[in-house]
Copies of this chain bind each other. A is one copy, B any other.
């Protein structure tokens, strides 16, 4: 039951020259569910990634980091769902390498040029027979128009596939940005059980792709949280194929760079907000902005203290304007010299608290009217400085508990 989120429509998701995708039912997840995705990249594509900060980084994450350090020439991506290949020790590493070898054989490349991704249950071995049987199947139906199909094949507890596209004209040449992602729980700053892949047909230097993937993540995937858990497998990959009919962008001083970055961020924000709208058990989409902070880190601390508070999240689920819980969460953000008496709180444009206390003219029915909505803006001003940050989150519902208690994911 996603919040105002529809499945993407085929004609809105544009192919990216230099990228073909294929999917298969490898039988790792349920019968009748696609659970394997292959992506082949044209020669010359530049690829960079950001990965989970969880110290139990899954085997495929470790392999991705290695391969990206060793080569500038990534040619294929392989993703399986149903099993995270995390907490699997040396066997897990061997399994991920064997997966790369199988993909490399099919695409006639080297295993080091393949990036593997897994998502699903932790601490169970990768079912290699199924996986190795599935890879050639997926390779049989590679196509440039398979993005939505690919988005569907990487889903775990997602209820809606996530894909987004944008076309932008850079110096008279039309450029395409298209991405897919998965993830609906365990999503947190620093990435969390989410996989995201965004490709553009313009060329970029290897260094610039690397800088850009971080900037895009910080404006999108690193600003969302469902439950504060950070997974072992989170990865976000940016691909620049260089197939567009224009010279590549070599540095951020290229006059086309800012427009490209904006487009990449727009697609990444659409994907990341889709993950929140499809957050496990979500009934509300909540945008939390903290203004008046001394610096960015402090603004984020407060925003996440609100976004992670189970008491705040259950109040949103209940549409209960029990807004003191938001003040309590702000007070709980571990900023030692925070002055409660300077804090203001708005729900949409309703001023709820001023100078750290209930605003004299605040009426509960006004708070209630906002709480009843499916999309809510929470704004806190700390009265300490000029920094501002925004994060997106969900409520905490019965369905969150059911999804995580009743099914193994």
Q: Which A residues have a C-beta under 8 Å from some C-beta of B? A: 53-57, 84, 86-92, 121-125, 185-186, 227-232, 308-311, 314-315, 317-318, 320, 322-325, 327-335, 338-341, 353, 355-358, 396-398, 400-402, 404-406, 408
Contact = CB atoms under 8 A, between A and B. Distances in A.
Nearest to A186: B311
B229 A310 contact: yes
Chain B CB within 10 A, most for which of A87, A325, A333, A356:
A87
A92 to B, nearest CB: 7
Contacts of A86: 324, 327-328
A328 B315 CA distance: 28
Contact of A310 (B228, B315, B327, B329): B228
Q: Is the interface of A mostly helix, strand, loop or mixed?
A: loop
B309 A229 contact: yes
A397 B401 contact: yes
Contacts of A327: 56, 86-87, 122-123, 232
Contacts of A334: 53
Contacts of A122: 322, 324-325, 327-328
A87 to B, nearest CB: 5
Nearest to A59: B357
A297 to B, nearest CB: 14
Contacts of A353: 87, 123
Contact of A396 (B57, B309, B323, B401): B401
A228 B311 CA distance: 10
Contacts of A186: 311, 328
Contact of A328 (B232, B310, B314, B355): B232
Contacts of A227: 310-311
Given A55-B340, A317-B405, A324 B124 contact: yes
A334 B188 CA distance: 13
A51 to B, nearest CB: 12
A405 B91 contact: no
A399 B264 CA distance: 42
A54 B328 contact: yes
A317 B89 contact: no
Contacts of A230: 328, 331-332
17 contacts: A55-B333, A55-B335, A87-B328, A87-B356, A87-B357, A121-B322, A186-B311, A229-B309, A229-B332, A232-B324, A310-B400, A314-B401, A318-B405, A320-B408, A322-B408, A398-B402, A401-B401
**A327, A330, A338, A401 — which one has the most chain B CB atoms within 10 A of its CB?**
A401
Contacts of A401: 314, 317, 396-398, 400-401
Contact of A56 (B322, B331, B397, B404): B331
Contact of A358 (B57, B84, B89, B323): B89
B54 A331 contact: yes
B357 A89 contact: yes
Contact of A324 (B123, B324, B329, B398): B123
Contacts of A124: 324, 358
A339 B87 CA distance: 12
A356 to B, nearest CB: 6
Contacts of A185: 311
A355 B91 CA distance: 12
